[in-house]
Amino acid sequence: MKMLICDDDQMSLRALEFQFKREGYEIIKAVDGRVASKILSENEDIDVMITDVFMPHVSGLELITYARRTLQRLFPIIVVSRANIDDNINFALDLGADAYMIKPFNLEELSRIVNNLLNE
């Protein structure tokens, strides 16, 4: 399984990479939304994406729109963000995110969410 992780916070990026590599995922990392957009356009075999909301150049919300509307990708998208505002959460879900977790989050819980979404 191939996972794209998008986060400008290096600590979060490393923690997510460590967790999901340990579970056998092939990890592709992006430190901003522009890099993530390029990766998405060049890789049709991504199975799941985890993204932060606030990133340089292209936000996580714009990235969700790009994946869902422009590229018409159907893989699960999980948002992880410090933004604990109902409007942000609802907007992300309306754009096509499948789940939204508030930072700091429990890696085991995130892993369960990812696995549940992939097994639906």
Domain boundaries, the chain: 2-118
Rounded Cα distance between 33 and 104, Å, is 20
Q: How far apart are CA 111 and CA 98, in angstroms?
A: 14
Tell me: the pLDDT tens digits for 7-54? 999 999 999 999 999 999 999 999 999 999 999 999 999 999 999 999
pTM of the predicted protein model: 0.95
pLDDT at 86: 74
d(CA 25, CA 19): 9
Assigned superfamily of 2-118? Response regulator (3.40.50.2300)
- Percent of the chain at pLDDT exceeding 70: 100
Q: What is the DSSP string of 27-96?
A: EEEESSHHHHHHHHHH-TT--EEEE-S--SSS-HHHHHHIIIIIS---S-EEEEES---HHHHHHHHHHT
Report pLDDT digits (tens) over 71-80.
Answer: 999 999 999 9
